[in-house]
Amino acid sequence: MAHSTFPADLPKPIDDGACNHLTGMTVPSIRLPPTSAPDSPVDISKLNGLSIIFCYPRTGAPDEVVPPEWDAIPGARGCTPQACSFREALPDLKKYGVKNLFGLSTQDTPYQQEVRERVHLPYDLLSDEKLEFLEGLKLPSFDYKDKKLIKRLAVAIEDGKVIKYWYPVFPPDSNASEVLQWLKEKS
């Protein structure tokens, strides 16, 4: 199965309350490398205006076969479709006031640079390889093959404060349209 699609019978994640603490939270000062300029880290707490950060567990590598055990994890599959949905929605997100859009995973920057180029993403991906964002915001995670991965979610951050979150996100390619709907309702 291609990384840009996903099976229709994926297990749906449940809302376990793991993000209930986020609304109103002040984002700690954490500097993460973006794919376009890894030597110029982004401090999300210092971004002005409205930022959307969508978090995903991991994207598959070219020619990687997605194992059945990955599909069995509720909410794990669909990172590329989620990223591509934000790619398609970016002009409308900007129109409704989003100043910054980032994807974020615990994968390293070189891996993310390949993904960004391969699927033609017009925004940066941020590497939380050291788990600073995950731990700083106490985000829900799971372990897979000795790696800690962030569960799929998105946060709206305005001037350093979380003002909205989406969790769990399912299906993965619906995330951008959910964010856009919220932006339209609040405008």
pLDDT at site 4 = 58
Beta carbons within 10 angstroms of residue 186's beta carbon: 12
User: What is the share, in percent, of the chain residues with pLDDT greater than 90?
Assistant: 89
128, 37 in Cβ contact below 8 A?
A: no
pLDDT at site 164 = 98
119, 84 in Cβ contact below 8 A?
A: yes
pLDDT at site 5 = 65
pLDDT at site 7 = 76
Please tell me whether residue 2 adopts helix, strand or coil conformation.
Answer: coil
* Lowest-pLDDT choice from 65-69, 107-111, 136-140: 65-69
The length of the chain is 187
Taking residues 178-186, report their average pLDDT: 97
Task: Please give the angle made by the CA atoms of 55, 187 and 184, to the nearest 5 degrees.
Answer: 55
Q: Where are the domains of the chain?
A: 78-91+106-140+163-187
Average per-residue pLDDT in the chain? 94
C-alpha 45: how far from chain center = 16
Residue 63 pLDDT > 90: no
* Rounded Cα gap, residues 68 and 73, in angstroms: 9
Taking residues 90-116, report their average pLDDT: 97
pLDDT at site 61 = 84
Residue 2 pLDDT > 50: no
Residue 178 pLDDT > 80: yes
* Rounded Cα gap, residues 68 and 88, in angstroms: 29
Q: Which long-range contacts (CB under 8 A, 24 or more apart) does 90-93 make?
A: 90/122, 90/123, 92/180, 93/52, 93/176, 93/179, 93/180, 93/183
11, 74 in Cβ contact below 8 A?
A: yes
C-alpha distance across the termini of the chain, in Å: 39
The pTM of the full predicted model, rounded to 2 decimals, is 0.95
Taking residues 9-23, report their average pLDDT: 95
Reference 102, options 111, 110, 93; nearest CA is 93
* Rounded Cα gap, residues 28 and 180, in angstroms: 26
